[in-house]
Amino acid sequence: MLHQSLQQRLIQKLSPQQIQLIKLLEIPAMQLEQRIKEELEENPALEEGAEPDPDASPEEQETAKAEGEDFSIDAYLNSDIPSYKLNVKNYSQDDQKTEMPFSAGSSFHETLLSQLGLRPLEKRIDQLARYLIGNIDDDGYLRRSLEAVADDLAFSMGITTSEQELERILSVIQEFDPPGVGARNLKECLLLQLRGRDDVTSVTDARRILELYFDEFSKKHYDKILARMNITEARLKEAMDEILRLNPKPGGSFSDQHLKSSEHIIADFILENKDGELQLSLNSRSIPELKVSRMYSEMLESYQSNRRNASRQDREAVSFVKQKLDSAKWFIDAIRQRQQTLTLTMSAIIDYQRKYFLSGGDESFLVPMILKDIADKTGLDISTISRVANSKYIQTYFGLFPLKFFFSEGLQTDSGEEVSTREIKKILQECIDAESKRRPLTDDQLAEILQEKGYLIARRTVAKYREQLNIPVARLRKEL
């Protein structure tokens, strides 16, 4: 049965302006520049340039207005500009015309297809080989089973084939350069690269290790390999050197100029040290100043003064103008609030880590700092601090750092002093770098070393920090 009732509820909703500010806080400087360009294209009421100074004299305001107006075409045509300056082909016959050639190498798959074209194959075999090459990954491996490839050929192209036929075609592809291409696993890839080598003792031993003792080799159980192959340690080292010279990703040796993208980092903050004083500034070189269009503002003022005589079409046009003006003002305010929030947050981080910044990047001066510490210091919400710290970088006088670098948890020493976990990771890295590779330090031994230095830390915590540093366990760090 339907019925009506009154309910009183307290809910929280974000206004469009707040959502816009949140989105602007999250993006770094490079994306902000692109976002401003998009807004300038979409909103005709938003323009580049500085806002006029309200305290300026009328003459100065008129001058600024004239400078901001578009250059007249008639004035340009009637100006005293020499004709040779308007000539596009303004070159002398004696000028040397040098052009920079653009070099774009062939991609990995194009190289394989070009080698396939040199083989005199039947049309059917060539078609199957091209399909197989299309299934090879960028690192050179065929990770799909031949059975799955045969099923795809039957359903998508109507070609009936068998695994045996595809195996024979794959063996042809595996003869192509780079050596190891078309392998289905790491073991096959390494063996393919050893196939064309001379049968010297080290190559023969390397081939035996990969064929018979690949599991022991991958887990670095060198003692088991020595006992089962009955060879000396010197011969094992020579065989291991042969294997380590092989390429585990043959496709990685090719650089695809069309697919590769280089990552550029633009700092959001710039920190300078001038005579012991830290000076912070926002990097706004590529971010233009914004202002509301004077023409649209005057259009709205003109309508408001003649509102009684306005037609329906005029009211619709002015409604559009007012909407665009409000959107432009909101966007400019959001940019200003973003700058204020970024500056406030980064200033709090610098103040919290002042000793570190004054020391020129000595990580021993980094104090434990979490998002809540900066939120309490600035009076902002933790989520706001998180958005500011995300994907932002600061250019200091000793290097470029992401803002997340300065946040770390704390740990107490035996003297009761609280130190950053980053300092412990640095000591852990130094211990592993200085260890004997024949007998690497275990996690228990690393924990004992840290405890001797005064850091109260358990073995499982050492293992966690080691994994965060992408350092394998002691057995996998062992070398001959």
The three-state DSSP-derived secondary structure of 143-190 is CCCHHHHHHHHHHHHCCCCCHHHHHHHHHHHCCCCCCCCCECCHHHHH
Name which residue leads in pLDDT, 394 or 1: 394
Q: Where are the domains of the chain?
A: 108-184, 192-253, 269-305+317-406, 410-477
**Average pLDDT for 296-318:** 73
Pairing mode, if any, of strands 269-274 and 277-282?
Answer: antiparallel
Q: Is the pLDDT of residue 63 over 60?
A: no
From the list 111, 143, 146, the residue with the least C-alpha distance to 128 is 146
Decide yes or no: CATH 1.10.10.60 for domain 410-477: yes
- Give the pLDDT confidence score for residue 416 in this predicted structure: 63
Of 76-80, 302-306, 408-412, give the lowest mean pLDDT range. Answer: 76-80
Percent residues over pLDDT 90 in the chain? 19
- The answer to pTM > 0.85 is no
- Give the pLDDT confidence score for residue 73 in this predicted structure: 37
Q: Is the pLDDT of residue 374 over 60?
A: yes
Q: Is the pLDDT of residue 90 over 60?
A: no
**Average pLDDT for 21-47:** 86
- Give the pLDDT confidence score for residue 318 in this predicted structure: 76
- Give the pLDDT confidence score for residue 412 in this predicted structure: 67
Name which residue leads in pLDDT, 298 or 334: 334
- Give the pLDDT confidence score for residue 457 in this predicted structure: 83
- Give the pLDDT confidence score for residue 217 in this predicted structure: 87
From the list 299, 284, 297, 287, the residue with the least C-alpha distance to 328 is 297
Radius of gyration of the chain (CA): 34
Beta strands in 288-392 (DSSP E): 290-292
395 close to 267: Cβ distance less than 8 angstroms: yes
Name which residue leads in pLDDT, 251 or 346: 346
**Average pLDDT for 34-56:** 79
pLDDT band of residue 76 (cuts 50, 70, 90) is: very low
Say which CATH class 108-184 falls into.
Answer: mainly alpha
Of 42-56, 159-173, 441-455, give the lowest mean pLDDT range. Answer: 42-56
Q: Is the pLDDT of residue 40 over 50?
A: yes
Name which residue leads in pLDDT, 225 or 54: 225
Tell how far CA 67 is from the center of its chain: 41
- Give the pLDDT confidence score for residue 69 in this predicted structure: 46
pLDDT band of residue 59 (cuts 50, 70, 90) is: low
When the pLDDT of each residue in the chain is averaged and rounded to a whole number, the result is 81
Name which residue leads in pLDDT, 403 or 80: 403
Q: Is the pLDDT of residue 342 over 70?
A: yes
Q: Are both 108-184 and 410-477 of the same fold? A: yes
Q: Is 200 helix (H, G, I), strand (E, B) or coil?
A: coil
The Cα–Cα gap between 437 and 474 comes to: 9
- Give the pLDDT confidence score for residue 25 in this predicted structure: 84
pLDDT band of residue 395 (cuts 50, 70, 90) is: very high
Of 143-157, 295-309, 359-373, give the lowest mean pLDDT range. Answer: 295-309
**Average pLDDT for 124-143:** 90
Query: What is the per-residue pLDDT across 277-292, written as a single tens digit (0 to 9) for each?
Result: 899 998 877 778 888 8
- Give the pLDDT confidence score for residue 101 in this predicted structure: 53
Tokens 């959107």, residue located: 327
Q: Is the pLDDT of residue 253 over 70?
A: no
Q: Is the pLDDT of residue 184 over 80?
A: yes
